[in-house]
Structure 1
Amino acid sequence: MFKWIGAFLIIGTTTWGGFEAAGRLSRRPRQIRIIKDSLQALDAEIMYSHTPLQEAAQKISSQMPEPAANLFKIFSEKISRKEATVKTAWQESLDDIWSGTDLKEEEYEVLIQFGESLGRHDRYTQQKQILLAVAHLDREETSAREKQEKYEKMIRSLGILSGLLFVILLL
């Protein structure tokens, strides 16, 4: 009796682990898309509305879903402090939200590089920097979707099958 309960717990745990890993694969492209959309919204606010950076970040935080909403909310709060530079406020905001996302180091590097130029140029140069960051994120999104299509089903199956294998070996 206890063997079967233990077997079901092992299979359940490994299955849950496989589904969780597959979930991270499926959430990553969606989160990249949200970040891209938020950068495009920032472009529109800067270019067409002539909105100051702090106010634009505040608007974007109320319009976008997570993780962009939290990123721009924290960024808006950090740049409203007078002692913070835009570059450090952006980097600290990224660091604050990063552990709660499924994004990888590649996206982090793109966003850090974008933050290096944020608020340092005129509107047209800033627009070019935003378009460059969006292009890099497009490439990362494509790569993330390919990985999702390639590995998501396999990881789910691997979770179930590893549990079954472990139970067979123990019995």
Structure 2
Amino acid sequence: MGLFKFLGGLLIILSTTSMGFHYGSRFANRFDNLIFLEQCFKILETEIVYGAVPLPEALTNVYNKGNKKVSFIFEEIKIYLLNNKKGDVFNSFTSVATVLRDRLNLKEGDIEIFLSLGRVLGSSDRQDQEKNFKLILNQIAILQKEAKLERDKNEKMYKNLGILTGIAIVIILL
């Protein structure tokens, strides 16, 4: 009987701990993904502003050169852009909004900045494109600082909360 209590208590502690680590890792993932997204934006800026590469080819280059954890989005945008002839660049960017939220743990503000790039991309000359990229990269830097503060504050809290909740449940059940 004591063995079952021990194993049950251990399972409770392990499950709540894993839940805490899962919720805590979402904050770290958001921070990392914002860094990777910034790198992809810089590659895209180089391709478009300085290389004068057509958008579908530039999106493929971002996919190939960027971190695959985030750069796969640009390949999906290219596929959507090429398959839907009636759609514009903004519609191609909005097609991946749910992926940004669900798989990359980005918040609505992060997604809005991503979509703002889709609104302005290809709608003006190179100088304006360069200004738009600089503005978006500054906004991403601000979001990274916010995400780092949030990660530092919440990641450890959720991990500890998972462990302590499991211990509390086991104590209550005993």
Q: 1:161 to 1:96 in 2, by over 3 A?
A: closer
Residue segments in structure 1 that go unaligned for 5+ positions in a row: none
- Matched to 2:27, the amino acid is L
Shift of 1:87: 1.0
Equivalent residue in structure 1 for 2:105, among 93, 96, 102: 102
Q: Which residue of 2 aligns with 1:89?
A: 92
Q: Which residue of 2 aligns with 1:141?
A: 144
Q: Which residue of 1 aligns with 2:46?
A: 44
Which deviates the most, 156-165 or 127-136? Answer: 127-136
Shift of 1:96: 4.0
The equivalences for 1:26-37 within 5 A come to: 26-37=28-39
Shift of 1:97: 4.6
Shift of 1:106: 1.4
Shift of 1:142: 0.2
Q: Which residue of 2 aligns with 1:162?
A: 165
Residues 18, 158 of structure 1: 8 Å contact kept: yes
Q: Which residue of 2 aligns with 1:128?
A: 131
Distance 2:116 2:103 in 1: 20
Pairs aligned (count): 171
- Matched to 1:136, the amino acid is Q
Residues 90, 119 of structure 2: 8 Å contact kept: yes
User: What is the TM-score of this pair, normalised by structure 1?
Assistant: 0.93
Q: Which residue of 1 aligns with 2:20?
A: 18
- Matched to 1:160, the amino acid is I
Which deviates the most, 119-128 or 96-105? Answer: 96-105
Shift of 1:95: 3.1
Residues 57, 73 of structure 1: 8 Å contact kept: yes
Distance 1:154 1:93 in 2: 31
- The Cα offsets for residues 117-147 of structure 1, whole Å up to 9 and x where unpaired, read as 1221111111111111111111111011011
Q: Secondary structure at the match of 2:95?
A: helix
Residues 67, 97 of structure 1: 8 Å contact kept: no
Q: Which residue of 2 aligns with 1:71?
A: 73
Residues 117, 129 of structure 1: 8 Å contact kept: yes
State the superposition RMSD in angstroms.
Answer: 1.4
Distance 1:140 1:165 in 2: 36
User: What is the TM-score of this pair, normalised by structure 2?
Assistant: 0.92
